[in-house]
Structure 1
Amino acid sequence: MSARPRLLYVTDLAYPARGRRYCDEDIHLTARLRADFDLALCHPLDAAALMDAFDAVVVRNSGPVLGHQEAYDAFRERALGTLVYNPLHGRGDMAGKQYLLDLTAAGYPVIPTVDRAEDLHRLPEAAAYAVKPKAGADSIGLRFLPYEELAGLSYGELLVQPRVDFRYEVSFYFVDDRFQYALYAPDPERRWVLEPYEPTADDLDFARRFIDWNTLDHGIQRVDACRAPGGELLLVELEDLNPYLSLDRVPEPVRERFADALVRSLRAFLKAS
C-alpha cells in the first residue's frame, strides 16, 4: 500500500433525497479526506468495475439499494476480499430489517416489531400500525393500517409495528464506537429539520447498547430513536450501511472533529486489514 492510500468513494451525487442534499455533504467531506488520501468518487453502479484499482472502497451516500438491488448484490459478491468501509458484515440496516425482530425478541428498547400474523397479539394496542417491507428504506412502501386489517396481510416480507405517538426523533452519530454528535427533530412532522441535541448520560447509554450489539469495529453508524410518550427512548433504526450525516446541521468545529475521527478510523481500518 502506498504512503497515501487510494480510496474509491461511492456516492450518488444526483440522488433526490427529500429535504436533504446528499451531494453537498459528500463534496465537503471528500474535500477534507483528500488531505490524507488519494481519492476518486464514483456512482454505486460503477463501484464493482472500478474497485480493484483502489486500496479500499468507502460507501457513503449511495442512496437506497432498492433502486439497483442486482448491482448492489453483485458489488457485495465481488467485494469479498476487498476492503469496504463500512465493512459488509454489519447486522443493522445493512442486512435488512431482521434486526428489529431480533432486538424485540431479546428485550431491547426498540419499537415492538413482528412479521407474522400469529404474533400480532404481542404488539401493544395503538390507534394505527405501521406496515413496512423488510427491505425498505427512506419510508418506501410504508403504510398505516388499523389493527383489524393486519391479519389479512401477506406476510413474509413485511414488518408490523405500533405507530408511536412520539414527542420527537433523535439521532446519535458514531465513528467506530466513539460518539460524535446528536441531532433531533423538535417537530415530528418535519423529520429532516434537525437541530443539535445535547444527550444525557442515559441517552448515550441507550445508543451505545446498539453500537455494542452490532458487529462493526470500524465504520460510521447512526442510531435513530424516538422519545416515547412515557419519556423512554425506543430504537427506530440502526443505520450502518450509508447513513446520511446531516453535517450541515452541526457547527463547524463539530464537522471538523467528525472528519478527523473519520480519517483516524479509515487509517486504523486499513492498517488492521
Structure 2
Amino acid sequence: MAPARPRPRLLYVTDLTYPARGRRYGDEDVHLTSRLRADFDLALCHPRDAAALLDGFDAVVVRNSGPVAACPEAYETLRRRAAETGRPVYNPLTGRGDMAGKRYLLELSAAGWPVIPTVGRAEDLRLLPAADRYVVKPETGADSVGLRVVPGDAVPAAAAGGGVLVQPYIDFAYEVSFYFVDHDLRYALYAPDPGRRWQLEPYDATARDLEFARSFIDWNTLDHGIQRVDACRAPDGALLLVELEDLNPYLSLDALDTESRESFASAMTASLHRFLRAAG
C-alpha cells in the first residue's frame, strides 16, 4: 500500500486582533482557516513573524489589508524572502491593482476606463470634471487612512509633497463590491446607505454590471487568487471603479447566508489546490 501523500502546508498570515472600522478581520480568518484545515496543514502567524517562518511551508496565504498596512516593513521583508526562496504567495505578488499601490487609477483614468477620474498632481486639477469638493488620498494605504475631502482651493496644500491621488468628490447613490475567486464571480454586495460603507447587503448584479467588474479582473491578469472590485453608482447611473483590491481583500462573509459562505470557502480551497499545482 502506497504511503499517504503529504498534505500541503500553508502559512496563513493575519493579525486576528487588528482593529478595523466596521469589520471583524479575526472572525473572518478564524472561519476560513477552520474550513481550509480540511484540505491543508495550516498555521496562522502575525505579519511580523511570516518571513522567519515561511521555509517550513509549501505556500504563504496573506490575508486582510490591515495587517499589511500596519506592518509595511515586515510585508516587504516577506516579499523579498519569498522571491529569494521561490516560496509561492497567494495572491501572487504580480498584481497590478492595490497590491502595487493606487497609481493604477491614474493609468486607467488616462486611458479612458470607467474609473473615478484621477490625477496625481494639483496642477492637473483642470483635467478633472469640475467639482465643489475633491478627494485627496495616499497612493498607498488601506482603511481610508489619510483620505481627505477638501474644497478645490485647498487641493494644492493637501497634495503638497506628492504621493497622493486627487479625484472629484462624487455624490454616488451607493457602493457595490464584486468578489472573485480566480476569474469566477462568487457574490456581490452593496451598501445602500453611502454613509455606512460596511453595512452590506446581497446585490443582484446585472449582465452589464458583471461585464464591468470582469473587465478589471481581465486587466489584472492574475491567474489565481481572491480579488474585490469596488465601484460606485454615479449620478448618471454608470458604475465607476473605486479600487481593485488584489492583495488581501476583506470579504464581508458575515453578510452572506450559510450556503454562500460555504460555497466561497469551497471555491477558495479549490483555487489554492490549483495554485499549488501550478507553482509545483
Q: Note the C-alpha offset of 1:67.
A: 2.0
Q: Which residue of 1 aligns with 2:15?
A: 12
Q: Which residue of 1 aligns with 2:81?
A: 78
**1:1-273 matched pairs, under 5 angstroms:** 2-61=5-64, 63-80=66-83, 81-152=86-157, 153-273=159-279
Say whether the 8 Å CA contact 1:11–1:62 is kept in structure 2: no
Which range moved further: 67-76 or 193-202?
67-76
Q: Note the C-alpha offset of 1:136.
A: 2.2
Separation in structure 1 between the aligned mates of residue 123 and residue 25 of structure 2, nearest angstrom: 40
CA RMSD of aligned residues (A): 1.3
Separation in structure 1 between the aligned mates of residue 7 and residue 65 of structure 2, nearest angstrom: 24
Q: Note the C-alpha offset of 1:235.
A: 0.3
Scaled by the length of structure 2, what TM-score is found?
0.95
Say whether the 8 Å CA contact 1:43–1:62 is kept in structure 2: no
Which range moved further: 201-210 or 1-10?
1-10
Q: Note the C-alpha offset of 1:70.
A: 1.3
Separation in structure 1 between the aligned mates of residue 23 and residue 120 of structure 2, nearest angstrom: 31
Q: Note the C-alpha offset of 1:53.
A: 0.2
What amino acid does structure 1 have at the position aligned with 2:197? Answer: R
Say whether the 8 Å CA contact 2:65–2:247 is kept in structure 1: no
Separation in structure 2 between the aligned mates of residue 106 and residue 41 of structure 1, nearest angstrom: 41
The number of residue pairs the alignment matches comes to 273
Q: What's the % identity of the aligned pairs?
A: 71
Separation in structure 2 between the aligned mates of residue 105 and residue 4 of structure 1, nearest angstrom: 47
Separation in structure 2 between the aligned mates of residue 6 and residue 171 of structure 1, nearest angstrom: 31
Scaled by the length of structure 1, what TM-score is found?
0.97
Indicate the SS of the match to 1:79: helix
